[in-house]
Amino acid sequence: MKLIYDLKATQTISGTFVYTGNCYLLDDQYNITIITNMDQIEELKAEMELTHNRIECLDCKNKIFSNTTHDLKHCSCGNCWVDGGLSYSRWGTKERSSGVLLKLIYSTPLKED
């Protein structure tokens, strides 16, 4: 099972972010369920592992990954950054950037027998 964040975060004039897009659950049969309840998202995340931590800068279109915990990466225009590797996802932008596309994937850990 995978929990996928496919969100666009754009900045308003006041500097806050507006999120558009979807957060959805993909089961092992590839059925998609759109999740809109933040509490449910947090519950699902708690049982899963981050397996993909990527943002795309809306200014330079650079796609950047953070691979390890202290792997802080900037896009080529310098407007956005991502950090945290597969431990957590942290990202940010400069004040006047257009924003980012978030592509985060959380997966159910493989069970050992």
Q: Contact residues for Zn ion (CB under 5 A)? A: 57, 59-60, 75, 77, 79
Q: Which residue is nearest to Zn ion (CB)?
A: 57
Measured CA to CA, the distance from residue 34 to residue 85 in angstroms comes to: 25
CA distance 85 to 51: 9
Give, as one character, the DSSP assignment of residue 108: P
Nearer to Zn ion, 35 or 60 (CB): 60
Shortest distance, position 10 Cβ to Zn ion, whole Å: 14
Nearer to Zn ion, 44 or 57 (CB): 57
Nearest distance from residue 90's CB to Zn ion, in Å? 17
> For residue 80, what are the β-bridge partners?
93
